[in-house]
Structure 1
Amino acid sequence: MTYTIVHISTTDGHHPSYRDTFARLLAGEASTGAIFSRCFWRLLVKKNVLFATIDADYFGFVVIALLRALQGKSTTGIFLRALQCFRSERKIVYPIKRICFTLLCKVPRLKILSIIPHSLHPELKEVSHDWIYDPQMWDLWITGQPVLPDTDLSREVEAKKGDRKVLIFIGEGNKIKGFHEFLLQAERNLENFLIVVAGTVANEFKIPACSLKNKGVIIVDRYVTENEILSLYKVADLAWCKYATNYDQASGVFGRALQTGVSPIVREGSLIDRMLKQSPRIQTQEMYEKSMAAITTTNR
């Protein structure tokens, strides 16, 4: 199956990377924007549509998917937070989400794909038709060994690290990313590691982050470009992926660390810990081929 549009509803985080990867591989038109906007009619009428991520606007995705199904048109959606359907907290939203996606799996010509292998969480078969590997576990190797860029940020790290190893924290510094624990670990390891934080720091952590900055930690408290992020993997030894227990999901930071030979620091027993133990037996090419096969197979 070929796609005419590859859509995302937000440019936060790794959404644009997913869009660009699949638009390139599937020769589809890259589309970005709120579903209930100028995008609506294009998403409704095109022959085959891939939502590179559906999590930014579940309601919009459901509306488009159902209307397209009534027209006999194929729609595929990549589901990042499928595990939330099985969360045990006393919040009505999670069982509603589970019921909704269970019903969606019965809609003809609609395919929902988890980025978490069903072998690790078999219950996901209830809310998704199939699964793919997180694209950020294989996207850099599509055309061969990746050549990572140099940036002013990576050059600064190279100049300051000396004999120390480099530990990077990428993304928003907040509770769910385990930033409090990261700061404690950074404080204890300043002699042996050059610590780099690349991403906006949450307000509650700005004071301790500033204190560490005064001790030589590199804090880049702003939006960080894709090139800057990739350049950090070129100079890093370890990447922080030890997230909060209630944030147990796939991680782009983890995937990119695997692709670039950087050692991820993970929480024992977490999803990405189990993926780490599985990944040495799986080649990047296998991840790519399995993922593309799932996306390009039409769901009748």
Structure 2
Amino acid sequence: MTTEVLLVSHSRDGHREAYIHQFQALLHEAGYSCRVVDTWKATLDFAGPACFLMIEENFFGYAIAAIVRALQGRRTAGLLFRGREAAEGQSLKLRNKAFLLCVMKSLTPVTTMSIVSFSVLPSIARVADDWIDDPQLWDIEDLSTPPSPLSADLVDLAAGRNILVALGAQNREKGFDILARTWLEKPEIRSRWLFVAAGKVAPSAWDIANAFAEAGGGLVDRYVSDDELRSLYGAATVIWALYAPDYDQASGIFGRAVQYEKPVLLREGSAMANHAAQIAARATTATYNDAGSVILGLEAAAVSPAQNQRHSHLMRERSQALVFAALGKAH
């Protein structure tokens, strides 16, 4: 008998649309049917399993739904993105979040799964039942990176130089200010590299973004399509994922770099840097807020050796098995 699963995603912005398609395909392959809903309240009267694709979209809604459903013996699974702040945060809001996550850990029908492994951040084990690898580390079936008009234009602009590409939202959390300041403060780098920021610029970063562009940086201040994104991975020498310390979580940009086997620059001491070391990804690190360190990290990344094995299929198998178990199906 086919079992219907509710996939809960309060919006389809950013990575969420990709997660929806990925989990629909995953569950259909395992014999489930899926229905996507955009509110936690839709799960309260639903007798089958429910899976929240990002519990931080409405954490207290997830908690209410999971606890109510558990009392009725109904299975609920949820993906936890910001496990570290829940486990270690000291604000009242974060302490309440940790308390509720611990309560849910005692409820058998509820499975909260971190998308950062316990080996990378052991403290998360206090608030999550288990972990899966970030789905954007194992979601790509077609690893080709055909060029697009955008990538062709940027390759022409680079004129033989190495290309550093920062993808997605351009803001302080994603380290755009550091990338731009490195370009502005270290003009000697421009003879060897082209820095590209491809994604919508936050209003707070408009001034430095304009200065970056005026100094010859590649600025694409708009939404970048999936096809363009793939082409930019193909054109890049190194991918930027050197994010602020208060944005210490899993990243789809990093995950795709790993899958495409592209060198990636990470913040020293970050969760992503620890994870990259564990899976022997093509990653180098730089000190946060240090332009000189950024340049050294870039140069090291450009000559980093290829990965000696693909990890995505192992991540996929393990993660799928845990998702199926959380929803009550052996696979």
State TM-score, norm by structure 1.
Answer: 0.90
* Structure 1 residue 13 displacement after superposition: 2.1
Contact 1:110–1:299 (CA under 8 A) maintained in structure 2: no
Measure the CA separation in 2 of the matches of 1:133 and 1:44.
30
Equivalent residue, structure 1, for 2:229: 229
Runs of 5+ unmatched residues, structure 2: 281-308
1:257 offset after TM fit, Å?
Answer: 0.8
Partner residue of 1:150 out of 132, 147, 159? 147
1:282 Cα deviation from its structure 2 partner: 6.7
Superposed CA deviations along residues 65-123 of structure 1, whole A, max 9, x for unmatched, are 223223322111111111111334x5211111111111111123111100111112222
Aligned to 2:54: 53
Q: Which amino acid aligns with 1:290?
A: R
Match of 1:173 among 170, 175, 188: 170
Q: 2 CA distance for matches of 1:262 and 1:98?
A: 36
Distance 2:72 2:192 in 1: 61
**How far is 1:169 from its partner?**
0.9
Distance, in Å, in 2 between the alignment partners of 1:12 and 1:186 is 30
Identify the match of residue 163 of structure 1 among 151, 160, 165.
160
In 2, Cα distance between the equivalents of 1:112 and 1:86? 13
Q: What residue identity is the alignment partner of 2:270?
A: S
Distance change in 2, residues 1:282/1:163 (3 Å): closer
Q: Deviations over 1:13-62 (max 9, x none)?
A: 212222211111111425152435xxx25x64151111121111112212
- Counterpart position of 2:322: 294
* CA contact 1:48–1:75 (8 Å) conserved in 2: yes
Q: Report if aligned partners of 2:250, 2:272 keep a CA contact under 8 Å in 1.
A: yes
Q: Please name the residue that 1:76 is paired with.
A: 77
Give 2:181's match in structure 1, choosing from 180, 184, 193.
184
**Residue 45 of structure 1 aligns to a residue in which SS?**
coil
- How far apart are the structure 2 equivalents of 1:139 and 1:208? 34
| Larger RCO (CA within 8 A; separation ≥ 6) | 1
8 Å Cα contact 1:44/1:67 also seen in 2: no
CA separation of 1:163 and 1:80: change in aligned 2, threshold 3 A: same
CA distance in 2, matches of 1:219, 1:30: 39
Residues 87, 127 of structure 2: 8 Å contact kept: no
Match for residue 218 of structure 2?
A: 218
Structure 1 residues 210 and 48, CA, compared in 2 at 3 Å: closer, same or farther? same
Residue in 1 that maps onto 2:139 = 139
1:297 counterpart SS class: helix
- Secondary structure of 1:250's counterpart equals coil
Does residue 284 in structure 1 map to residue 285 in structure 2?
Answer: no
CA contact (8 A) 1:3 1:50 kept: no
Displacement of 1:289 after TM fit?
Answer: 0.9
> CA distance change for structure 1 residues 44 and 229 in 2, over 3 Å: closer, same or farther?
farther
The aligned residue for residue 109 of structure 2 is 109
Counterpart Cα distance in 2 of 1:170 and 1:274: 21
AA paired with 1:72? G
SS in 1 for 2:111: strand
* Structure 1 residues 19 and 44, CA gap change in structure 2 (3 angstroms): farther
Say if 2:79 and 2:115, in contact at 8 Å, map to a contact too: yes
Answer yes or no: is the 8 Å Cα contact 2:50–2:327 preserved in 1. Answer: no
CA distance in 1, matches of 2:154, 2:37: 34
Amino acid in the other structure paired with 2:17: P
Identity, in percent, stands at 30
**Runs of 4+ more than 4 Å apart:** none
Q: Which runs of 5+ in 1 are unaligned?
A: none
Contact residue 241 and residue 254 of structure 1 kept, 8 A: yes
